[in-house]
Amino acid sequence: MSNVVLAFDTATSSTAVALSGTAIAHTAELRDDPIAGQRPRHAQALLGLARNLLEDEGLTFADVDRIVVGTGPGGFTGLRIGLATARALALGSGAEIVGVSTLRTLERPAREAAGDGQAVVAILDARRGEVFAEARRGIDLVLEPAALTPARLAELTIAAGASAADPWLGVGDGAVRFRSILEPAGIAIPADDSPLHRVSATVLSELGARATAVPRAEVLPDYLRLPDAEITRRARSDP
């Protein structure tokens, strides 16, 4: 494991940053969570939060050995700010870089909270009435990551066996937002203020600590959705 690991995720409206590694006594996390309706502050918050964590340890950006970045899916602009920052920090300092799916980061603590054999579905608000979601039972993927409407997700979970008697555990800002559609589909959703709904940079750093580093250019966002203009263009050329 690396001496100094800086991990951050900007795929949701939150900016979450954690500092860990063998040179750090206790993993520390700082976050900026805009309240509902507020604009995300990734561009303004990300590097400042990271600097504060580093300064507390008497370190600078140059001391970071490994950068772990959330690759989404999530808000397009936020994702790109996180990835551009991660790649440029790595370029500037020579740190290794690792990308980790934001849905996996969300799932990980929920799996520990889930009952034996209970499926966990990670659900991020994708705006425009859609969610990004994937589901696992243990480590087995039972629902491929996809952008879909909450109603479609509800159909899929019911078809896959979720029910009031055997509910799946649903977490993430998308689960909170579409609770009224998802709960009747056999998805149990913790209270709105449960930390399980937030993407934790501490969990991200754990997932990324042992992963194999990759070349910077290979760390790309997982958009899971085409740009609107491309959807329109394809619809036009392929009626």
Partner 1 sequence: MILAIETSCDDTCAAVIDRSGLILSNVISSQGIHDRYGGVVPEIAARHHLELVDVAIEDALEQADVGLGDIRLVAATQGPGLVGALLIGLSEAKAIAAARNLPLAPVDHLQGHVAANFLGPEPFEPPFLCLIASGGHTLLAHVEDRFGFTVLGSTLDDAAGEAFDKGARMLGLGYPGGPALQRLAADGDPTAFKFPTAEGVDGLDFSFAGVKTSLLYALRDNPDAPRQDLAASYQAAIVEQLARRTEKALEQTGIDRLAVGGGVAANGPLRERLARIGVTLHVPPRELCTDNAAMIASAARYVTPLLPGAYLDLDAYATGQRAL
Task: List contacts with partner 1 (CB under 8 A).
Answer: 43-45, 47-48, 51, 60-62, 64, 76-77, 80-81, 83-89, 91-93, 95, 216-217, 220-221, 223, 227-230, 233
Taking the least distance from each CB to partner 1, the nearer of 184 and 234 is 234
Taking the least distance from each CB to partner 1, the nearer of 86 and 204 is 86
- Report the candidate in 40, 52, 72, 75 with the shortest Cα–Cα distance to residue 6: 52
CA distance 46 to 53: 11
Least separation, in Å, of the C-beta of 145 and partner 1? 18
To the nearest 10 degrees (0 to 180), the angle between helices 42-56 and 76-93 is: 40
Taking the least distance from each CB to partner 1, the nearer of 47 and 146 is 47
Taking the least distance from each CB to partner 1, the nearer of 74 and 109 is 74
Least separation, in Å, of the C-beta of 153 and partner 1? 24
Least separation, in Å, of the C-beta of 87 and partner 1? 6
Contacting residues for 12 by C-beta, under 8 A, at least 6 apart: 40, 74, 75, 78, 102, 124, 125, 173, 198, 199
Q: Under a CB-based contact definition with an 8 Å cutoff, are residues 53 and 19 in contact?
A: yes
Integer Rg of the chain from CA: 18
Least separation, in Å, of the C-beta of 238 and partner 1? 14
Taking the least distance from each CB to partner 1, the nearer of 78 and 174 is 78
Taking the least distance from each CB to partner 1, the nearer of 53 and 121 is 53
The dihedral through the CA atoms of 207, 208, 213, 217 has a sign that is positive
Taking the least distance from each CB to partner 1, the nearer of 193 and 228 is 228
Least separation, in Å, of the C-beta of 227 and partner 1? 4
Burial class of 152 by CB neighbour count within 10 A (0 to 12, 13 to 18, 19+):
middle
CA distance 35 to 64: 31
Which helix (H) or strand (E) is 131 found in, with range? strand 131-137
Q: How far is CA 234 from CA 130, 149, 226, 231, in A?
A: 20, 20, 10, 5
- Determine the 3-state secondary structure of 122 from DSSP: strand
